[in-house]
Chain A
Amino acid sequence: MKKWQCMVCDFFYDEALGFPEEGIAPGTRWEDIPEDWSCPDCGMSKADFCMQPA
């Protein structure tokens, strides 16, 4: 399970936790999130997230 960080606002997407508020179940891998999904906090596109070392 990996963590991804928004390069603008520091929002973290943790694959282990998912993002249930928007129907992304815990365990959902980053690559399985739709490409048009964007940072829920600042609206930054998915492409501009960066993988964080565990």
Chain B
Amino acid sequence: MNTTTNDWKDRKKYLWLLSPLLPLLGLLAVGAYAAGAPALLLWTGPILIFAVVPLLDLLVGVDPVNAPESAVPGLIAQRYYKYITYAYIPTQFALTIAGAVLVAGGGLATWELVGLILTVGTINGIGINTAHELGHKTGRLDRTLAKLTLAPVAYGHFFVEHNRGHHKNVATPMDPASSRMGESFWRFLPRTVIGSVRSAWTLETARLKRQGKATWSPHNEVLQSWALTVLLFGSLVLILGPVVLPFLLLQAAYGASLLEVINYIEHYGLLREKQENGRYERCQPHHSWNSNHVVTNLVLYQLQRHSDHHANPTRPFQALRHFDSAPQLPSGYASMLIAAYIPPLWYRLMDPRVVAHYEGDLDKANLHPAKREALLRRWCDSAVPELQQAA
């Protein structure tokens, strides 16, 4: 059936509110605890991402539907979708402040404090996804809000590194944020964290040099973003006391680790081919792992339609497409991140998929150098695994 701009409706229009609902749930949980509700509520964040969302993904399943091309200009023009991303930010800040106030009040048992750190960290970590959507836009307001969203998670350099570093080097050995086959998440984590800071700093130094400006100047976007964190954390420490600083740092570290586990999933083992002229081929749909699991896609603004994102980085989330040709994950990011924490499970799920994707020719894959020989030996004689596409 031909659908046109006029009769096509985004059935998920109001379901996108699930994303800004998350920080609100966190805030309500912390508020309810303060008003006397059970302390288990402080674990809302981990319960949501490790239990509720994976379970809902399993129950609700996948949705490969793309908006018809004729409806896309109208879909992109609606400011409603932009406000969805903005709506995340005030509650995210309110939750961070509420968490700090709770910590400063004292009296939290250790397990309650851990829950609070993880809940606030979860919301600020998922906030990086909001910053990601905004940071790809060209408008000044969106870009400023992206930096602001990264302040509570102390990951402001992401704003620079992601666009100018990751999008350029994705699925090559040069990219700190592309994981290699045989590389565990725990080995990837320090490499990506350190590599991303280094890359952001180098990129910004080069940009400022081109403009004849000093690296240490107010024009430095990495410094601008980090300054917002210093301002936020500094104000909270001044008002509430130094007791809140470990809380703020720990929740930020946990939040950033959530971004990095998603990074780990997105390009595992995939490699762009080096051409005769020494350049890597352009990023194609087959250089990202995708998933159509509806609930994670609603929560993460269709980040899992990752191939289209790399092909069209400024395309707004509501218009991102599923490609049949793109590699598919066995489940949504929310379930896959649990597997990523357990390397043997991850390898069992994903290595056969990488082998199948390259039809057994692992020389074409992005291999962890220390595991290269072992991987080639392990897979050289085995039959190419049947690739099971997610339904």
- Interface residue ranges, A against B (CB under 8 Å): 7-11, 21-22, 38-45, 48, 50
What residues of chain B lie closer than 8 Å to A41, measured between beta carbons?
Answer: 167-168
Contact: B283 with A7, CB < 8 Å? no
Contact: A7 with B314, CB < 8 Å? yes
Contact: B277 with A48, CB < 8 Å? no
Contact: A43 with B311, CB < 8 Å? yes
How far apart are the CA atoms of A11 and B277 in the complex, in Å? Answer: 17
Contacts A22-B277, A42-B168 known; list 12 others, CB within 8 Å: A8-B164, A8-B313, A8-B314, A9-B164, A10-B164, A21-B279, A38-B282, A41-B168, A42-B170, A42-B313, A43-B167, A44-B314
Contact: B277 with A21, CB < 8 Å? yes
Asked if B138 is at the interface of the complex by the 8 Å CB criterion, the answer is yes
Chain A residue with Cβ nearest B287: A43
Contact: A43 with B282, CB < 8 Å? yes
- Interface residue ranges, B against A (CB under 8 Å): 136, 138, 163-164, 167-168, 170, 203, 207, 277, 279, 282-284, 310-314
What residues of chain A lie closer than 8 Å to B277, measured between beta carbons?
Answer: 21-22
Nearest Cβ distance between residue B122 and chain A, in whole angstroms? 28
How far apart are the CA atoms of A45 and B311 in the complex, in Å? Answer: 8
Contact: A44 with B207, CB < 8 Å? no
How far apart are the CA atoms of A41 and B281 in the complex, in Å? Answer: 9
How far apart are the CA atoms of A41 and B175 in the complex, in Å? Answer: 13
Contact: A44 with B279, CB < 8 Å? no
Contact: A9 with B138, CB < 8 Å? no
Chain A residue with Cβ nearest B284: A43
How far apart are the CA atoms of A9 and B163 in the complex, in Å? Answer: 6
Name 12 A/B residue pairs within 8 A (Cβ), A-sorted.
A8-B163, A8-B167, A11-B168, A39-B282, A40-B282, A42-B167, A42-B168, A42-B170, A42-B313, A43-B283, A44-B312, A50-B138
What residues of chain A lie closer than 8 Å to B136, measured between beta carbons?
Answer: 8
Chain B residue with Cβ nearest A9: B168
Contact: A10 with B207, CB < 8 Å? yes
The interface centre, meaning the residue of B138, B277, B313 with most chain A CB atoms within 10 A of its CB, is B313
How far apart are the CA atoms of A9 and B313 in the complex, in Å? Answer: 10
How far apart are the CA atoms of A39 and B282 in the complex, in Å? Answer: 8
How far apart are the CA atoms of A48 and B138 in the complex, in Å? Answer: 10
The interface centre, meaning the residue of A38, A39, A42 with most chain B CB atoms within 10 A of its CB, is A42
Nearest Cβ distance between residue B176 and chain A, in whole angstroms? 15
What residues of chain A lie closer than 8 Å to B279, measured between beta carbons?
Answer: 21, 40
How far apart are the CA atoms of A10 and B202 in the complex, in Å? Answer: 13
What residues of chain A lie closer than 8 Å to B163, measured between beta carbons?
Answer: 8-9
How far apart are the CA atoms of A41 and B277 in the complex, in Å? Answer: 13
What residues of chain B lie closer than 8 Å to A8, measured between beta carbons?
Answer: 136, 163-164, 167, 313-314
What residues of chain A lie closer than 8 Å to B164, measured between beta carbons?
Answer: 8-10
Chain A residue with Cβ nearest B165: A9
Chain A residue with Cβ nearest B170: A42
